[in-house]
Structure 1
Amino acid sequence: MLRGVSLRAIGLWKPPHRPTLSRAVTITAYPQSGLADERLQIKVLGLSPRQQVSLRAVVVDEQGCLFNSCAHYEADGTGNVDLHRDPSHGGNYTGLLPMGLLWSLSPSVMEKPYKRLEKKDILKSPMIVELLVHRGQVDPKGIPAEVTARLKVERLFAAPGVRRIRLKDGAVRGSLFLPPGEGPFPGVIDMFGDDGGLVEFRSSLLASRGFASLALPYFAFEDLPPGMTEFHLEYFEEAAKFLVRHPMVRGPGVGVIGTGKGADLALSMITFLPQVVAAVSISGCCSNTAARLHYGDLILPGLSYDMSRVGISEGAVFDISVALDDPLDPANSQSLIPVEKAEGHFLFVVGEDDLNWKSSVYAKAAVDRLQEQGKENFTLLSYPGAGHRIDPPCSPFCLAAIDRVLGVPILGGGELQAHCHAQEDSWQKMQDFLRLHLT
């Protein structure tokens, strides 16, 4: 300092440099690696108070198709967003939907619409979901803004230790999934609808929850019939006998889960096959549909579709909700499955907004038939606002999807929040039902 004069006074003094500290934006998810039917706890940390951001989820499926979702959030006074606490203000959904980013995953604008996000190769690799944080409110269909944080999350379809055994046992084809441990375990046959082929993701998740689960294809797979022309219940009987006698399966009986066409096959199995003691019918019909069903000398005709009753809605989506012949018409009585003859237990799972067909009406008809015979061996789960295909939890909602047989998008119905609630609620109740009646 000059004598009598301060450096500050003559402009030569500079304060020491102190770098400004800014928090890094981070996104967290728990569990970062977990089963695909588990909820995620997603948080964003390090934002400015009340900062507006967009969160996106991005998945590339095994065919290289891109799926994404987007929602707008506002940070709290401390600069944090918690999807279990904070509502979305726009994007692909609004309101408090902690799993909305997964529920609303759909094909990106550059992909063909109406494709379903479905895991094919269960054990090779997990499904990778990338979570991204963008500045501001991003148009879900526009060019995303700057990314300030990202995180990759693994969604597993089989718990560690789950084993898959590919079957070629007599006529039976498919995959048997066994839980980790010594067993024995309750046994379940798992079937889907008219897409055909081998669908494994539900069976692998069931095995992860303690069931010996047989993913059973019944057409359009290996040397099975290429299409739905006629079926023989003896094939399904052989599968049930295989499962009953397996050393890792706890008898004396097994259960069956079916969706769509697989659901009416499940009803026929519990009605006619003594090995099947519990059946879960998801979005099914009370009659045999689509193809004749033979069992010895018994024949159940298959209800037909009248394509003249098919409507085409906006976006060239086909509405087949009234195309199926009415199973409650006396003229079609020969196709009705005589469920009142079954000694086992039924669980009917339906969405009241199913626009594939009137599954809630059909389930009620089956329940009425049981009650008329004084039976109480059933539970009916009927979900307002849910559509046709009710999958395990966290599966994306799909209002319409390409039908493998017709090659066109088919309307499934439902509303995102109600449908995904049905998936969460019914999944646990299905497991409880099967454990109760198989142990």
Structure 2
Amino acid sequence: MGPWHLHTSSALGPSRRAVPPPLHLLVELFGGHGPPLGQLVAEAQHEWVFLQEGAQRVPVREGRIRATLFLPPGDGPFPGIIDLYGVGGGLPEYRACLLANHGFAVLALAYYGYEDLPKNMAEFHLEYFEEAKDFLLQHKQVKGPGIGLLGISKGGDLCVSMASYLKDITATALINGSVANVAGVLRYKDVAIPPLGFDIERITVNKDGIVDIYDLLDNPLEGPSSQSFIPLEKAECHFLFIVGQEDRNWKSDFFAVEGSKRLQAHGKEKPQIIRYPGTGHYIEPPFFPMCPASVHKLVGKPVLWGGEPKAHFEAQVDAWQQIQAFFHKHLSGTPPKASDRL
């Protein structure tokens, strides 16, 4: 029998923004190179359940809040986390859902481009995020005295802003986030932080027509752009920076280092920084496909996100475990159970 050929097929639900039904994966192993396929040697079926039995998905339309709350099985109370995504807008639910399976009450929060929320990112008002924080903390199944924040990309710098200005934030985890305000004016009461400047002349395009925006943004340590640096030294929480070292969206490692320097310069705790070589911008939960490039909503063209497949996939597995451990430590006061996996 010659070399074996592995064939897989899956039944996916709707867009991965919403929680899909269970994912069924059929794995078949055939002899030979194919096509045509040789003799079937072995097969197996795998089911990936997004929302485990007994967990709850609760749509939230409370005041201005547009969100979905995921609650683990049982009565709780559970440690609370607000989950924010990036410039794609809308209400992605899948990461919050999967995280709730590990004992957290997770609020997937929309902040623009969804229902009656703003259609663009011209301004961000922290009062909206404060309302969501208060809603989560006041929920009878959420454990206080503080909550956690999890943000990727633009959602990351919004989490930094929340931690810097709002009370009751205990732990903040950023996935390739910025410590400078990006894309629109950030407002809270009498505070207004301008967005970080940029220069479109620093954009490059490769032979396939994919845009590289890595050098687009200005340095937040220089000139007027320094006004965009979020005062994270005001935060009273623990920080975790997850960094993909091949992130082509922006300089995530630089942001993590400068955030760490600023915190320590003001006598604050040194944040945890975990770096992943060969890893791009969109570090998703384990086994989600790597996204090497896609259309950027602000740029209006396909942009490069970076990363090498094997390293990126391995980083997604490890980062998921690191995020859980971080929140269990600082929100639950206990390490994750040995049975907690993916």
TM-score (norm 2): 0.92
Q: 1:120 aligns with which of 17, 20, 25?
A: 17
SS in 1 for 2:27: strand
Instruction: From the two aligned structures, give the one with the greater helix fraction.
Output: 2
Counterpart position of 1:335: 228
Judging changes above 3 Å, is the alpha-carbon distance between structure 1 residues 417 and 312 closer, same or farther for their aligned structure 2 residues?
same
Deviation per CA, 1:138-185: give whole Å up to 9, x if none. Answer: 5xxxx5634625444322211111101101101111100000011000
Counterpart position of 1:414: 307
Judging changes above 3 Å, is the alpha-carbon distance between structure 1 residues 62 and 244 closer, same or farther for their aligned structure 2 residues?
same
Q: 2:9 aligns with which of 55, 58, 68?
A: 58
C-alpha distance in 1, partners of 2:270/2:138? 25
Judging changes above 3 Å, is the alpha-carbon distance between structure 1 residues 145 and 207 closer, same or farther for their aligned structure 2 residues?
same
Q: Does residue 136 of the first structure (1) align with residue 136 of the second (2)? A: no
Q: Is the 8 A contact 1:198 1:216 kept in 2?
A: yes
Judging changes above 3 Å, is the alpha-carbon distance between structure 1 residues 52 and 328 closer, same or farther for their aligned structure 2 residues?
same
Q: 2:244 aligns with which of 328, 351, 371?
A: 351
SS in 2 for 1:419: helix
Q: 2:295 aligns with which of 402, 406, 416?
A: 402
SS in 2 for 1:434: helix
Task: Answer with 333-342 or 373-382: which moved more.
Answer: 373-382
Counterpart position of 2:57: 164
SS in 2 for 1:355: coil
Larger radius of gyration: 1
Q: Which stretches of structure 1, 4 residues or longer, exceed 3 Å deviation after superposition?
A: 59-63, 149-152, 404-407
Deviation at 1:405, TM superposition (A): 4.3
C-alpha distance in 2, partners of 1:175/1:186? 16
Judging changes above 3 Å, is the alpha-carbon distance between structure 1 residues 400 and 147 closer, same or farther for their aligned structure 2 residues?
farther
CA RMSD of aligned residues (A): 1.8
Deviation per CA, 1:211-233: give whole Å up to 9, x if none. Answer: 00000010000100111111100
Residue pairs, 1:45-84, within 5 angstroms: 51-59=2-10, 61-62=12-13
Q: Which consecutive residues of structure 2, in runs of 5 or more, have no partner in the other structure?
A: 333-342
Q: Quick one: which amino acid aligns to residue 46 of structure 2?
A: V
Deviation at 1:310, TM superposition (A): 1.6
Deviation at 1:55, TM superposition (A): 0.8
SS in 1 for 2:86: coil
C-alpha distance in 2, partners of 1:197/1:406? 17
Judging changes above 3 Å, is the alpha-carbon distance between structure 1 residues 400 and 205 closer, same or farther for their aligned structure 2 residues?
same
Counterpart position of 1:199: 92
Q: Quick one: which amino acid aligns to residue 120 of structure 1?
A: R
Judging changes above 3 Å, is the alpha-carbon distance between structure 1 residues 275 and 311 closer, same or farther for their aligned structure 2 residues?
same
Deviation per CA, 1:381-434: give whole Å up to 9, x if none. Answer: 111111111111112222222334444321111111221222111111111111
Q: Which consecutive residues of structure 1, in runs of 5 or more, have no partner in the other structure?
A: 1-47, 64-117
TM-score (norm 1): 0.72
Counterpart position of 1:288: 181
Residue pairs, 1:142-291, within 5 angstroms: 145-146=37-38, 148=40, 149-291=42-184
Task: Answer with 339-348 or 304-313: which moved more.
Answer: 304-313
C-alpha distance in 2, partners of 1:54/1:432? 38
Q: How many residues align?
A: 331
Q: Is the 8 A contact 1:132 1:147 kept in 2?
A: no
Task: Answer with 404-413 or 166-175: which moved more.
Answer: 404-413
SS in 2 for 1:269: helix
Deviation at 1:329, TM superposition (A): 1.9
Task: Answer with 392-401 or 218-227: which moved more.
Answer: 392-401
Judging changes above 3 Å, is the alpha-carbon distance between structure 1 residues 132 and 315 closer, same or farther for their aligned structure 2 residues?
farther
C-alpha distance in 2, partners of 1:186/1:279? 13
Judging changes above 3 Å, is the alpha-carbon distance between structure 1 residues 407 and 131 closer, same or farther for their aligned structure 2 residues?
farther
Deviation at 1:306, TM superposition (A): 2.9
